[in-house]
Amino acid sequence: MIKYGLDVSYAQGKFDWSTVKKLNPDNIDFAIVRAGYGNNNIDAQAKRNFTELNRLGIPAGAYWFSYAYTRKMAANEAKCLLDFVKSYKIEYPLIFDFEYASDNYAKKNGVNLSKSDISELVDEFCQYLERNGYYAMFYTNLEYKRNKFDTALFKRYDHWLAYYGKNNTHEGYMFQHTSTGRLKGHNGNLDLDYTTRDYPTIIKKAGLNNL
């Protein structure tokens, strides 16, 4: 069974979860929230988003936008994420998000990250989460999947793939299928997602995420 959801950050402002859930009962099976970025920078709406999701019983996961360019920095980001989410019920994976801005930040600091380097950052972050009893995942798009991450990562961890085309035949465990989605009760574009995996059941059975 396909489960439908969305991912949000401060960019959506004070999201009206109650109204959106009520008006879109078939499209709000889960939500992925940006918890923060870099060195312990908490997203401006993260606390409110998680509080509302937990209150309404909407299963939630979290992602951390990375600015790491060393393994130590990646581990610190993972710790920051864990320190934040421990106060909330998390039924979906915790996700490492390394993108173009991440790579550019490293370059501005005089570091040119190779494919192997970036893959090590993913591995460090995700291993830290696993060692602390949480379900780990990483985010990618097709370009990064093909050119920036070692293939071994896709066998080791689940990945959340941004793919906005039709007739999706790409491998992934969760998909971000549009950045211009619309839901009743919200004025503006949204990132919409879906998955065929029942993460709450998988995670709970595995005894992870403090469930």
Reported as a single tens digit per residue, the pLDDT across 180-196 is 999 999 999 999 999 99
Model confidence, pTM: 0.96
Structural contact between residues 95 and 121, judged by C-beta atoms closer than 8 angstroms:
no
Q: Is the pLDDT of residue 167 over 80?
A: no
List own/partner pairs for 159-168 with CB under 8 A and 24 or more apart: 160/32, 160/63, 160/93, 160/95, 160/193
- Tens-place pLDDT, residues 4-34: 999 999 999 999 999 999 999 999 999 999 9
Residues of 117-144 as b/e, b for ≥16 C-beta within 10 angstroms?
ebbbbbbbbbbbbbeeebbbbbbbbeeb
205 φ/ψ angles, rounded to the nearest 5 degrees: -65, -30
What mean pLDDT value characterizes the chain?
96
**19: its two tokens:** 């109204």
Structural contact between residues 190 and 17, judged by C-beta atoms closer than 8 angstroms:
no
Whole-angstrom Cα distance, residue 202 to residue 5?
A: 17
Whole-angstrom Cα distance, residue 66 to residue 198?
A: 26
Q: Is the pLDDT of residue 170 over 90?
A: no
